[in-house]
Amino acid sequence: MPRIGGGGGPIVPPGAQGAQGAQKTEKSDFAGKVTQVTQATEAAASQQAKGAQQSQMTGKVREIAKRLASGQLDQKEATREFVSLVIEERFPDFKKKKKKKKDDEEETGEEQLEEAVTELIDRDPVLAKRLQTQFQKLGKQS
């Protein structure tokens, strides 16, 4: 049995050590539960925000699909607008407000990326057809 205060102190009964260990276990269990609840709450809030963002994007894609179905856009313009939406969602810092540019100004990095991805989709017949099919489905749902 260990002695309190070193070699000459009183003897600590064996049951007292177990009580101290139980208190530490209860504290760590409580801290673990608080952490779990906090993480669950953060995850739920994150999931809710993500769902709202996805429904907002779906609404914008439906708008593109409607305009494509009504003939206001052609397939390439619809693809470009879709690519722009995806870039805006995935890279919010990259996508800045569009400025009206003069004829002599060069394309921005954002515009170059949009054009490159749009061309890539247009050159892949399977991907282009799949996107066109999705636009048609969304256009009919509205």
| 10-residue averages of pLDDT along the chain (142 residues) | 58 57 64 75 72 78 91 92 89 64 68 90 92 88 68
Report pLDDT for 129.
93
Report pLDDT for 99.
53
Residue 103 lies in a domain: no
Query: Which range marks the domain in which residue 82 is found?
Result: 20-97+109-141
Residue 31 lies in a domain: yes
Report pLDDT for 130.
92
**Number of domains present in the structure of the chain:** 1
Residue 102 lies in a domain: no
Report pLDDT for 87.
87
Residue 67 lies in a domain: yes
CA distance 89 to 140: 24
Residue 62 lies in a domain: yes
Report pLDDT for 55.
75
